[in-house]
Chains A and B, each alone.
Chain A
Amino acid sequence: MMDRRLFSHVPWGLLVALALLFGIGAVNLYSASSLRLEDGLGVESYFRKQLVWGALGAGVFVAGVVVHYRHLKALAWPAYGLGVLLLLGVRFLGKTVYGAQRWLDLGPLHLQPTELVKVAIIIVVAKILSRMGGSLGWRELAKVVAVALVPAALIAKQPDLGSALNILLIVGGMIVFKGVRPAVFKTLAVGIPVLAPFGWFFLKEYQKQRILVFLDPTADPRGAGYHIIQSQIAIGSGGFWGKGFLRGTQSQLRFLPEKHTDFAFAVLGEEWGFVGSIFVLSVFCCFLYQIYLVTVEAKDDFGRCLAAGVFFYFFWQILINMGMVLGIMPVVGIPLPFLSYGGSSLLVNFCMVALVVNVAMRRFMFKR
């Protein structure tokens, strides 16, 4: 049964930010997908699909809010197990798109297990962390990292380095949030930067290429550097006030690749200029700040860790995607929440916000 008290603790600010972001995303997608030329997909089709996904997302959202989040603890491991199984399924049965196996073809629905795995991992890690008192020692740390590494490795193998990295970054963020013992912190603060360069040998050729091109985009202006250069031209040419809705020449004339997915923000930057970009950035910041408020006011460690996990989920995606679009981070395929087109990603975003709202609404239950 729903308690009436639940409604007095609804984090309205978070919901307003969510609605704003979804609205901005949909409008921007309308522009990004209205092509002047005949293209595979008709005009506005991404826009309509996004609205449908949005409706589905609202359903997921309601479902995610209704059930008390403490029940998730019980579901954590089964969800994690299912996620790993799905990833293995993709490995052997997956549909190959753009040379990568990322999708499971379930009739009309193309499921991207990676996104679901992110939810499962946040719940599992939150559960583990909430059971550990105080700061983490080496043993606790190893346990959490092991839990994250299994799916991350499978995802990296797809290959989807961006998502694998995303998962590690989310878990890393949650660990920092929980706090590690000073000795552990000091060792890691020195060790990770030293060991990171050895990761180079595990990268695929095109991934190395992306990093090299990021360092010097002009080295390959028609190939790998093209994305970075065109995206900066699109954003930069927007100037202070922007070129106006549907008037971005770089995006409308398709100089900008993948403009409806990973580079959606470049379309926005071109058409709405500095004013629009800063506005969207501010909304993202408010959105994250609202999540922060939930972690501060949550009444239990699981809830706090859960909200923190969601915070890092969004934080890294925003930082990496916008950093990439603005040319200060290498190009990795990470979408911008609510602005990039993508059904699975949108559903998971709604799901993630639902978790936070869930935590916020039930904080009274732990009142002394």
Chain B
Amino acid sequence: MERFKPSQDFPLWAGPNVLVVLCVLLFATLGVRLWYLQVVKGDVYHDKAQENRIRQRVLYAPRGVIRDALGTLVAENVPAYAVAVVREECPDINATLDQIAWWTGEDRQWLQKSFEQGKRRTKSFEEQVVVPNIPFEVVARIESERHHWPGVSVVVRPKRFYPTGSLLAHVLGYVARANDKELAQDPELLLGDNVGKLGVELALERRLRGRKGLEEFEVDATGRELGSHRLYDPVAGEDLHLALQLPLQRAGVRALAGKAGAVVVLDADTGHVLAMVSSPSYDPNEFVTGISQERWNALIDDPLHPMQNRPIQSAYPPGSVFKLVMAGAGLSTGAITPSTTVYCNGKYSVGNREYRCWRRGGHGKVDLRKSIRESCDVYYYALGERLGADAISDFARRCGLGEVTGVDLPHERSGLVPSPAWKQERFGRKWVGGDTINMSIGQGYVVTTPVQIARLVAALVNGGRVLRPLLLASDMPEEQGRLPMSDATRRLITDAMVAVVQEEGGTARVVARPGIRVGAKTGTAQVVKLMERYEKKETQEIPYKYRDHAWLAAFAEKDGRRYALVAFVEHGGHGGSEAGPVVGAMLDALFGLGEAP
């Protein structure tokens, strides 16, 4: 029998020694590795494990719908279909994209580009939309063949639809895909979200959008869902009711057909906007699905500027409409009384310059009532000189001119009420007498928007309250200030406005309606200082771009209800003849006269 050999007979690399050495090495190597993975890198791997199994899904909230005052839907949500892929589930992404191109008829190259772009912004195992809009026939085709193509799905998302098309485009605005800037500024937005870009959709975006919900779900290694729980429920956007009346709006659009202009109708006692027309218009639905570059260029290059929201953005000299402010200022400061008269012989001299009245032969002896009824310029030249530029400017501002009305629409322009200080600041030149003369008849630097004029007229008939124009029926009247004039003064002015409509010589007799108390003031805003050669010509003979803008500011009262109506026709020529019929049409619609709309 062999004898046991003591271990010291062996070199270190042989015999029982080797077993101990290996034991120590094993323990040390594996132990160090465990320490590294679990203690040193434990947090890193913990995060990786979380990413592995927890995924989140956004639950979209439906956008609030918008109705008019009579309950008709003017902005709603309809289902839209899109093709989406989950990259990780597609066995061969190129073959899948080929198939999608075949289904949808999209260009393969475009599809590849769209896919590559979206890839960077979607997480793994997340649905990535590759074709955003597909018609229902294509949906049906895909659905019937989809089981051959793992990873492909048809996603249904609500799409904004404006059933009235261009009728309300400037009020509603539209929604479209959020751009990079909007995404960066608003953490609530996700890639592919639609946001309000213009109009009420933009101004009241927060209320319409609602709040997205978030769902967390666990997945296994194959991406299969194992159960979920909601972190937040989605909150639907608020449904909004406009004060706007579609039949009235339609009448305004019809009256302005073929013209560039604006109509605003306010409830004079509440400030609610009953109609707000900007002509020409565009179809907001084009923007929802993504407008083409050519179409966009066509809209932008159109000489009539259909994208301009004229009721709030067209700031033009108010012309003779401004005489309402002048009259108020004159009476309130005591510069004139109702019986103060000025003799108009057709011209008025300031220094060495001569200013004409629009009626070359003159109006003869003119008092306040006649000055408004017949819109005598000389009367206001004299009044302007007596008041001084600063007083006029100050008074006009207190009437709410030169500042935004705060209507719930984006990009409203403030208009401008000039003053000597303003001119010095702006141009570095002194205010001269001629500037005062110009301002007195609403020309020169003073510019106003139709909605400002509407607010002013409303205040004249509602007891002097300057009200914020309200688009939503649910909004309560909001007094922004008071006209700086007494009840008596306002009554004198409004009575004179009625004379403009009712009496012989009035400039707005076209808007007279039996049984309704209608008052108005016409205005003609000069585009360029009329050149001699156009002075005697009829409107039709003057090139379009040199024609004057026509204004008509009116109020109507019946059965205790009062309305303010403003029509503005770009390059329309004379206020009474061009803007008058527009206001007339609105009155017919408002009071159910003439043909039913």
Contacts and interface: CB of A to CB of B under 8 A. Distances in A.
A255 B219 CA distance: 10
A301 B2 contact: yes
Interface string A268-312: 010001100110011011001101100110111100100010010
Interface of B: 1-2, 4, 7, 10-11, 13-16, 18-20, 22-23, 26-27, 29-31, 33-35, 37-39, 41-46, 48-49, 52-53, 218-222, 224, 226
B39 A239 contact: yes
B29 A328 contact: yes
B219 A253 contact: yes
A295 B10 CA distance: 13
Contacts of A285: 23, 26-27
A237 interface: yes
Given A282-B27, A308-B19, A235 B49 contact: no
A359 interface: no
Given A177-B15, A323-B30, A327-B33, 15 more contacts: A235-B37, A236-B38, A237-B45, A239-B45, A253-B220, A254-B222, A256-B221, A274-B35, A281-B27, A281-B31, A281-B34, A285-B27, A304-B4, A326-B33, A366-B1
A240 interface: yes
Contacts of B18: 173, 176-177
Contacts of A345: none
B26 A253 contact: no
B501 to A, nearest CB: 80
A171 interface: no
A118 to B, nearest CB: 18
Contacts of A135: 14
A366 B38 CA distance: 48
A356 B35 CA distance: 32
A238 interface: yes
27 contacts: A36-B226, A37-B220, A37-B224, A37-B226, A130-B2, A179-B11, A235-B34, A235-B38, A235-B45, A238-B38, A253-B221, A256-B221, A257-B221, A274-B38, A288-B26, A295-B16, A299-B4, A300-B1, A300-B4, A304-B16, A315-B23, A319-B26, A322-B30, A323-B30, A326-B30, A326-B37, A328-B33
B14 A177 contact: yes
A292 B20 contact: yes
Describe A's contact surface by its main secondary structure: helix
- Chain B contact residues: helix, strand, loop or mixed: helix
Contacts of A237: 42, 45-46, 48-49
A249 B52 contact: yes
A186 to B, nearest CB: 11
B16 to A, nearest CB: 5
A50 interface: no
A233 B48 contact: yes
Contact of A236 (B2, B41, B53, B222): B41
A285 B26 CA distance: 8
B566 to A, nearest CB: 67
B139 to A, nearest CB: 31
A346 B221 CA distance: 29
Nearest to A368: B3
Contacts, number: 153
A330 B53 CA distance: 26
A87 interface: no
- What are the nearest 8 A-B pairs in CB distance? A236-B45, A237-B49, A179-B14, A239-B42, A274-B38, A292-B19, A237-B45, A236-B37
B216 to A, nearest CB: 14
A176 B16 CA distance: 10
A278 B49 contact: no
A326 B33 CA distance: 7
A273 B37 CA distance: 10
A233 B26 CA distance: 22
B4 A177 contact: no
A235 B48 CA distance: 11
Interface residues of A, number: 60
Contacts of A304: 4, 16
A304 B29 CA distance: 27
B212 to A, nearest CB: 27
A250 interface: yes
A340 interface: no
A233 B39 contact: no
A176 B14 contact: yes
A327 B18 CA distance: 25
Contact of B16 (A37, A250, A296, A318): A296
A133 B37 CA distance: 46
A319 B220 CA distance: 30
**Chain B CB within 10 A, most for which of A249, A253, A298:** A253
Contacts of B27: 281-282, 285
Contacts of A166: none
Nearest to B5: A301
A319 B7 CA distance: 25
Contact of B221 (A255, A318, A322, A326): A255
A178 interface: yes
Nearest to B14: A179
Nearest to A319: B26
B53 A232 contact: no
Nearest to A298: B4
A240 B15 contact: no
A289 B27 CA distance: 11
Contacts of B221: 230, 253-257
A240 B19 contact: no
A263 B106 CA distance: 47
Nearest to A291: B19
A84 to B, nearest CB: 28
B223 to A, nearest CB: 11
A277 B23 contact: no
B349 to A, nearest CB: 91
A130 B10 CA distance: 15
A8 B37 CA distance: 43
B2 A277 contact: no
A234 interface: yes
Contacts of B11: 179
Contact of B52 (A255, A315, A328): A255
A303 B35 CA distance: 37
Interface string A131-145: 001010000000000
User: Which of A233, A327, A366 has the most CB atoms of chain B within a 10 A radius of its CB?
Assistant: A233
B46 A253 contact: no
Interface string A222-256: 00000000101111111110000000011001111
A278 B7 contact: no
A179 B16 contact: no
Contacts of A323: 29-30, 33
Contacts of A179: 10-11, 14-15
A250 B50 CA distance: 9
B31 A232 contact: no
Contact of A254 (B4, B26, B220): B220
B46 A239 contact: yes
Contact of B38 (A273, A284, A289, A291): A273
A37 B306 CA distance: 60
Nearest to A328: B33
Contacts of A288: 19, 22-23, 26
